[in-house]
Amino acid sequence: MLTFVLMRSTLGKEEKLKHRKLIEQLFKKGLRINSNGMQLIYLKIEHEGDFPIKVGFSVPKRIMKLAVDRNRLKRRMRETYRKNKHLFYDNISEQYIFMFVYKAKDELTYLEIEELILKIQSKFLKKT
């Protein structure tokens, strides 16, 4: 009899990158993958938690001046990651920390952001 472990398609508190020391390490030692309009900074590191990836999302203030626009873009980024995180989880065995950084000058739609995250995901899997 086959048993499957179902991965919930949520982005809970345990999966979010919150610790200041981990974030500092990520920006100092992390490797970067660029795609037109978005960047993934990642670092293979042991962390507490049951999930293999802790993730954060950033939209710099110098790119999007209004907080409303920054928050909307971060919501879109979180949602696309949440729906497609199984593509990362299915293909890695170690623990990582991620930071997705928005780099586009104009506001991208949900579908454009999803396309960028999928491109980054394929580049990440090729490198690891």
* pLDDT tens, residue by residue, 37-91: 999 999 999 988 888 999 999 999 999 999 999 999 999 999 999 999 988 888 8
Q: Report, at the CATH architecture level, how domain 13-127 is classified.
A: 2-Layer Sandwich (3.30)
pLDDT tens digit sequence for 43-54: 999 988 888 999
The tokens for 24 are: 């500092």
Three-state SS sequence of 66-112: CHHHHHHHHHHHHHHHHHHHHHHHCCCCCCEEEEEEECCCCCCCHHH
